[in-house]
Structure 1
Amino acid sequence: MSYRTTGYLAAFIGLALDQAVKLWMLWIYQIEEVMRLHGPVALAPFFDLVLVWNRGISYGWLQQDDEIGRIFLIGLAFVASIVLAIWIWRTRDRLTALALGLIMGGAIGNGIDRILHGAVVDLFHFHWRAFSWYVFNIADLFIVLGALLLVYESFFGTSGNGNRPEDGDSSRKDAAKG
């Protein structure tokens, strides 16, 4: 599988999983009604299912309550996705392509939420005693995982030039041998 395919497949899987979980939680499980009647659903002493309509970005920063702000954040997700798609197309490293694909899938997933719902659907809440982590979704997990993989790759990935021959590309392998 080419690096490009790896990146784009990661984006597709991340997007599909994110949207499937959100649709299931909203329309099948009906988390909004559950929250209205019972409050957060405790799955573990440190983990709850909740529903938060996030009109901002990570950690609720840049809250956008008007239509112009929502359109700005949709546009930002669109531009970021285009940049990531181009970066995936140009990369020669499988780990980088995977990381970028995860970020791209998450960005598109959250962008779709803004289009469909006017806000990002956040569902998961980790907490421990007085410590409360922010509420997040599957797209956010993919974005964070992709960012962590990029950091890892920057320290331990390619050995300098970033050009690794693609699997099955014998001309590049022969050229690399000298």
Structure 2
Amino acid sequence: MTEAEQAIGTPDAGKAEGGAGTSAAGSGEAAAGRGKRRVGVLLAVAALAYLIDLTSKLAVVAKLEHHAPVEVIGTWLQFEVIRNRGAAFGFGEAMTIVFTVIAVGVIVVIARLARKLHSLPWAIALGLLLGGAFGNLTDRIFRTPGDFQGAVVDFIAPSHFAVFNLADSAIVCGGFLIVILSFRGLDPDGTVHKD
């Protein structure tokens, strides 16, 4: 039974539950196969988000830092390199080490969830969170002044909004997707619960 069938409660859902005793070993093997596939999706999404973020930061630091902002869509959207010691969107500049610890905590929680991950949407959401967390954590470790207190490179500057980067975007999109999945009752293990 697919996640979509579970989510919409098709008549096959009852049959699948009723026939659970027919082949426990076969269903266990299928669940293990689904788990591996979903962890692979999580890692692929995380790697892609991380590489895109890292590449974009390297490019903008090399080409745009110490230069005038580049207009992408007039003054509505510009690229301007800002070194941010705070959290996403420039909040909490004096708490750099706290945000580093939070990022490490997020990575640990995602690693624990990955062991029982059978849901494709959850794999995508967690992959976005993981890639974004690693992207900003890399800056905190390796950028000046280092020692887990480095400044994150932000460069996407919409008009009348905080400057951010692609890691921040991945984190926000992943978090938004998790909220939607939670409201729909889909759990990371692929089951659907109804409140």
Please state which band the TM-score falls in when normalised by the shorter chain.
0.7 to 0.9
Unaligned runs of at least 5 residues, structure 1: 165-178
In the alignment, does 2:93 pair up with 1:63?
yes
Identity of aligned residues (%): 32
1:143 alignment partner AA: I
**Map of 2:106 onto structure 1:** 80
**Map of 2:71 onto structure 1:** 42
Which one of the candidate residues 43, 46, 61 is aligned to 1:11?
46
Structure 1 stretch 12-21 or stretch 70-79: which is displaced more? 70-79
Which one of the candidate residues 106, 116, 122 is aligned to 1:90?
116
Q: Which stretches of structure 1, 4 residues or more, deviate above 6 A after TM superposition?
A: none
- 2:180, 2:164 → 1: CA distance? 23
CA RMSD of aligned residues (A): 2.0
Contact 2:60–2:81 (CA under 8 A) maintained in structure 1: no
TM-score under structure 2 length normalisation: 0.70
1:140 alignment partner AA: D
1:133 alignment partner AA: F
Which one of the candidate residues 127, 141, 155 is aligned to 2:169?
141
1:62 alignment partner AA: G
Which one of the candidate residues 103, 117, 121 is aligned to 2:153?
121
Q: CA deviation at 1:149?
A: 1.0
**Map of 1:174 onto structure 2:** none
- In the TM superposition, what whole-angstrom CA distance separates every residue of 1:45-93 from its partner, at most 9, and x where no partner exists? 21100011111112322213xxxx5444323212211111221232221
- Count of aligned residue pairs for this structure pair: 149
- 1:57, 1:3 → 2: CA distance? 29
**Map of 1:155 onto structure 2:** 183
**Map of 2:65 onto structure 1:** 32
TM-score under structure 1 length normalisation: 0.76
Q: CA deviation at 1:157?
A: 5.6
Structure number with the higher strand fraction is 1
Contact 2:127–2:174 (CA under 8 A) maintained in structure 1: yes
- 1:157, 1:142 → 2: CA distance? 22
